[in-house]
């Protein structure tokens, strides 16, 4: 039996390498889990979760998996039990050991009460985007509202067995974000000495999974909306720490999503000539994002990281149109002019800066629209400039491509400007 042969090899590795006893315990546990999945069914629920998952749920999700014909395997296991951590708390190591014993293809949904991991294998090789990956991605992006382990199992398996989880993910995300956009303008505010605002909302930014054109391409993702919160003014040290952490998070996200976008474009299937045109645009926008990130050096400025994410969002939009998920003639989503990290749930708004005479008509998120109506400064993206921190749009346009274009809110030729090298000359 493959499980027994693989177990013998794995045990020998442990013995010859002088691995600690904990590793041997991992081997024993991996054998027990793998044997159960092969002999008893595709769902393994650790006894510690016996009260969290009903027998009926186990039966139903096993039925869903078997009817799908897909090699989906569910592992609900707390990795820390009575002070002893199996696999040093690493779910990916657990899955790798179990899959090594079973072999063949496998889509693994690993769950604990506070996290989920989706791992896909084709034979012995990891598959970056598979059924388990998209099931967990849905959970991470908040499409699943249930918090109980029982309900999470239901929802994730129901999604994982779908014949095309990538397409379902794209359509679900599009639906969720369109539902979040205002269908009608909110009631007008009481008269006040403020600028008029438009009530023509733009559609939300869609996120799309897909793939494309060359093995050397890297991959991309989406820019998530952040909600403003009213906070007690922090100390300068707290502000610096928060800014540093935010910068690190954005840098990691930009690199990860750039790589992911390359993978998606490489795997994309365009629909007709129009689809091919949009696929080329997705590639160009992803290329512009790569140009910005690579040209920013080892410590890119926060405005450049935001630019990378905006360009990847633009690539997402083109990719959705290429695959037919979004109509080719739909209005292009536009990021909040004050801070593109606020997302693309925006309304065209007349904005006149405090004390200024010039009025700009720009897309703003609901929170920034409210600030403009109340004659408060919107929560803008701040950048370093001449020894201080200022809203990025207050940097002279001749010194900043992002200020000159509003990250695409003021001009439609952002990608073309980057290709001409304006991101290097405007500094």
| Model pLDDT for residues 328-353, shown as the tens digit of each residue | 998 899 999 999 999 888 999 998 86
Q: Which of 55-64, 122-131, 169-178 has the highest mean pLDDT?
A: 55-64
Predicted confidence (pLDDT) at residue 188 exceeds the cutoff of 80: no
Segment 267-289, tens digit of pLDDT: 888 888 999 999 999 999 999 99
Structure tokens at 65: 């998996």
- Lowest-confidence range among 144-153, 259-268, 293-302? 144-153
Residue 424: per-residue pLDDT: 80
β-pair partners for 119: 108
Torsion, CA 131, CA 134, CA 138, CA 139, rounded to 10 = 70
Average pLDDT, integer, range 404-416: 94
Question: What is the pLDDT, as a whole number, of residue 83?
Answer: 43
What DSSP element (H or E) covers 361?
strand 359-364
> Predicted confidence band at 204 (pLDDT cuts at 50, 70, 90)?
very low
Question: What is the reported pLDDT for 175?
Answer: 67
- Residue 182 in contact with residue 86, Cβ under 8 Å? no
Q: What angle do CA 42, 46, 50 make, to 5 degrees?
A: 105
- Residue ranges and CATH numbers for the domains of the chain are 2-163 (3.10.310), 197-425 (no CATH)
Question: Percentage of the chain with pLDDT > 70?
Answer: 72
Q: Which long-range contacts (CB under 8 A, 24 or more apart) does 419-427 make?
A: 419/284, 419/288, 419/291, 423/291, 423/292, 423/295, 423/304, 423/307, 424/295, 426/397, 426/398, 426/399, 426/400, 426/401, 427/399, 427/400
Contact indicator for 159, 180 with CB cutoff of 8 Å: no
Confidence of residue 191 (pLDDT cuts 50, 70, 90): very low
Which tops the pLDDT comparison, 109 or 247? 109
- Range in 20-29, 120-129, 131-140 with the lowest mean pLDDT: 20-29
Whether the predicted pLDDT of 211 surpasses 80: no
**pLDDT at residue 383 is higher than 90:** yes
Choice among 36-45, 184-193, 386-395 with the minimum mean pLDDT: 184-193
**Whether the Cβ atoms of residue 160 and residue 109 lie closer than 8 Å to each other:** yes
Centre a 10 Å sphere on the Cβ of residue 340 and count the other Cβ atoms it contains: 28
Rg of the Cα atoms in the chain: 25
Element (H, E) at 385: strand 382-385
């Amino acid at each position: 039996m493959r499980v027994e042969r693989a177990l013998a090899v794995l045990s020998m590795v442990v013995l010859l390498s002088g691995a600690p006893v904990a590793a041997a315990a991992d081997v024993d546990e991996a054998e027990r889990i793998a044997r159960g999945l092969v002999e008893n069914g595709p769902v393994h629920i650790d006894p510690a979760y016996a009260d969290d998952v009903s027998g009926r749920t186990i039966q139903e999700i096993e039925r869903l998996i078997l009817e799908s014909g897909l090699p989906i395997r569910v592992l609900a296991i707390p990795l820390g039990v009575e002070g002893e951590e199996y696999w040093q708390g690493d779910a990916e190591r657990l899955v790798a050991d179990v899959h090594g014993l079973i072999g063949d293809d496998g889509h693994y949904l690993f769950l604990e009460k506070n996290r989920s991991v989706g791992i896909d294998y084709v034979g012995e090789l990891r598959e970056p985007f598979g059924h388990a990956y998209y099931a967990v991605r849905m959970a991470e992006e908040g499409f699943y509202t249930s918090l109980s382990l029982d309900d999470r199992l239901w929802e994730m398996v129901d999604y994982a067995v779908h014949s095309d989880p990538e397409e379902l993910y794209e359509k679900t995300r599009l639906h969720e974000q369109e539902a979040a956009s205002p269908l009608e303008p909110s009631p007008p505010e009481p008269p006040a000495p403020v600028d008029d605002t438009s009530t023509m909302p733009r559609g939300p930014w869609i996120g799309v999974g897909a793939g494309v054109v060359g093995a050397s391409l890297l991959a991309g993702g989406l820019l998530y909306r952040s909600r403003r919160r009213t906070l007690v003014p922090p100390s300068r040290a707290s502000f610096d720490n928060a800014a540093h952490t935010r910068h690190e998070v954005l840098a990691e996200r930009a690199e990860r999503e750039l790589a992911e976008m390359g993978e998606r474009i490489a795997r994309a299937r365009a629909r007709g000539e129009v689809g091919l045109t949009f696929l080329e645009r997705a590639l160009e926008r992803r290329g512009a994002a790569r140009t910005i990130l690579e040209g920013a050096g080892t410590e890119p400025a926060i405005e450049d990281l935001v630019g990378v994410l905006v360009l990847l969002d633009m690539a997402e939009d083109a990719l959705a149109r290429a695959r037919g998920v979004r109509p080719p003639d739909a209005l292009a989503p536009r990021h909040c002019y004050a801070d593109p990290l606020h997302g693309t749930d925006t309304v065209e708004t007349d904005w006149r800066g405090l004390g200024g005479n010039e009025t700009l008509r720009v897309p703003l998120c609901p929170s920034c629209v409210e600030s403009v109506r109340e004659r408060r400064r919107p929560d803008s993206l701040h950048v370093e400039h001449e020894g201080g921190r200022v809203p990025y749009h207050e940097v002279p346009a001749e010194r900043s491509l992002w200020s000159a274009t509003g990250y695409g809110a003021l001009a439609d030729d952002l990608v073309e400007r980057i290709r001409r090298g304006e991101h290097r000359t405007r500094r």
